[in-house]
Structure 1
Amino acid sequence: MPRRVPLPPDLVSRPFSVGEATALGLTPGRLDGPDLVIPFRGVRDRRVPEPLTLEQRCRQYAVRMKPWQFFSHETALALQGVPVPRHPYVVRIHVASHRPQREPRLIGVVGHRLQTRDDAWVEVSGLRVEHVVRAWRQAGMTWPMDDLIAAADHIVGRTTLASLDDLRTELIVMKGRGARRLLRALDDVRAGSESPEESRLRLILGRAGLPEPEVNWVLRDENGRHVARLDLAFRKWRVGAEYDGRHHELDERQFARDVDREADVRRQGWELVRVLRHHLRGDGRAAVRLVREALERRGWRP
């Protein structure tokens, strides 16, 4: 069996175009070798056993991306760290251009030809990505309402990419299909939520008729010492609610810190409700019951 021709060093650790490889002397036979995959027409990459991340798939497509194209919609949000809908939802690769330039038409890519506008894309790790404000509006066409709110919570609270006014201005300027729905979503956005689960918990409690909490409120003792930052704080009734994803359930030191922190909170006269993942399943009624009972114990009445 003839020995396989090694790839040039510059092509070993990244996807590359067929044209680039041919210019470096690789033959069509070598480009069809079993150690390479064809993620998109005209592109080759090293074959790896594990599933690729969204960023890795976008890097494969970027090899053939035209200068006027950029990643848009939910792809742009995900690449900028904005939370996306939960499993089993799978983020697809969206690539857009502005008229009159052409969008891609390729299997595995959702192409968009957007109305004529000045470019606003940003560069994220070398990839051209639609500005987060525009991408959030674009995702509004297909995402569920709670996922849009959670994404906006993140954008205005955990990043410096945009403000609530920026999101609102984009909707007013662009108008069009879905703008009214997105404006309604902005009414429920609260800066400060640190995870989509926290946002979902807040929304579920509010829709159940419970009072609106303060988000990530800092509890201090009588001397002003920081005691804890509570995901959701119902100050009037001294009740806190927190989502616990159980990321540290096997970490003894983290578990001990959590127990000590909860004791500190209770010493300040507060009741802390810990909401676990299974409490949020379905319509979240289990989470509502836990928080409602705590509030009622502290004197709240519907």
Structure 2
Amino acid sequence: MRRQPLPDDLGPAFTVREALGLGVRRDRLTARDLRAPFHGIRTRADAMAEEVLSRCRTYEPRLTSAQFFSHTTAAALWDLPSASFDATRLHVSALPPAREPRTRGITGHRLDLPIEHLTLRHGLPVPTAAETWAQLGGFSRVEDLVAVGDAILTRRLAERANLEEATHRLARRGVSNLRAALPLLRAGAESPRESLVRLILVRAGLPEPELNRDLRDDSGHFVARLDLAYPEYRVAVEYDGRQHADLTQFRRDADRWPAIAAQGWMLVRVVDHHLRDPVRFVVAPVERVLRSRGWRP
């Protein structure tokens, strides 16, 4: 039997109530060309996806005016480098006295959050970037909070004062981790691994490096962009996270390394497996090179 066509007014995701209100029969909503990712929601099978943004758009018809995406889901919508993302489970919060959602695939929260700390991201309601960072305190290690905070400051999504204020706004889980992370945040890091390498070095008692410094020759021509730099000692540290090196990029880097050396700089390269034993493979070689250039603790 031929299926009843769905009304054009229904988007790729819609509520059962909307469909019934447009005259769709209830048995049509159980057909194989539709999916039920959340209670009371239907989506066309060809529109299903596991990415956080896609799932948020699928759930959006169920949101009330007092509800918003929060915690790690909001971090994903802000494109922040959280290690706690789970595309299969969304976090949705409600402003009191509204009730938080309780349904399959959703972790609900109730947050007494001032309305001015809510905004839109991809057209979806979320907390501000600063409030999102603070909500990660109960889900993340200090190192991960630093990586997220660095990204927020680097992308100018919030100021340090906003992060400090968000930390103390509510009685929230993970406040001790947030307070520990705050003084470690730096603008300029362009990847979570850069943030981690910087933390490893500073916690080991080595100097605080400059982040993403442009190296130029005596004529002012650009030579290279250095991930972590100690200009006083002409020492640079570079994190290389490529799992399978692109040949073109590798050749470009191979030309860049001697160009950096030609300016009198020494380069310490860190790759992913070095982070398994950071004292031996990150701290020791950087300290050795710094000492060779005259640094003393």
Distance 1:74 1:65 in 2: 17
- Across the aligned residues of Structure 1 and Structure 2, the Cα RMSD in angstroms comes to 2.3
Mapped pair 1:38 → 2:36: yes
> Please, which moves more after superposition, 221-230 or 268-277?
221-230
Partner of 2:138, secondary structure, is coil
Distance 1:270 1:93 in 2: 47
Partner residue, 1:241: 237
Distance 1:41 1:146 in 2: 36
Shift of 1:245: 1.4
Q: What are structure 2's unaligned runs of at least 5 residues?
A: none
Partner of 2:154, secondary structure, is helix
Partner of 2:115, secondary structure, is coil
**Residues 116 and 148 (structure 1), Cα distance of their counterparts in 2 relative to 1, 3 Å cut:** closer
Contact 2:12–2:47 (8 Å) recurs in 1? no
Mapped pair 1:280 → 2:278: no
Partner residue, 2:148: 151
TM (norm. structure 2) is 0.90
Mapped pair 1:127 → 2:124: yes
**Residues 279 and 131 (structure 1), Cα distance of their counterparts in 2 relative to 1, 3 Å cut:** same
> Please, which moves more after superposition, 42-51 or 207-216?
42-51
TM (norm. structure 1) is 0.89
Partner residue, 1:118: 115
Partner residue, 1:5: 4
Output the amino acid matched with 1:15: A
Partner residue, 1:82: 80
Contact 1:37–1:44 (8 Å) recurs in 2? yes
For residues 145-200 of structure 1, what are the alpha-carbon distances to aligned partners after superposition, in whole Å with 9 as ceiling and x for unaligned? 10001000000112x32111111122344465543431221110110000111101
Distance 2:14 2:47 in 1: 19
Contact 2:213–2:229 (8 Å) recurs in 1? yes
Contact 1:248–1:255 (8 Å) recurs in 2? no
Distance 2:290 2:108 in 1: 49
Q: What are structure 1's unaligned runs of at least 5 residues?
A: none
Mapped pair 1:56 → 2:54: yes
Distance 1:146 1:270 in 2: 29
**Residues 208 and 63 (structure 1), Cα distance of their counterparts in 2 relative to 1, 3 Å cut:** same
Aligned residues: 296
Output the amino acid matched with 2:215: L
Partner of 1:272, secondary structure, is strand
Mapped pair 1:271 → 2:266: yes
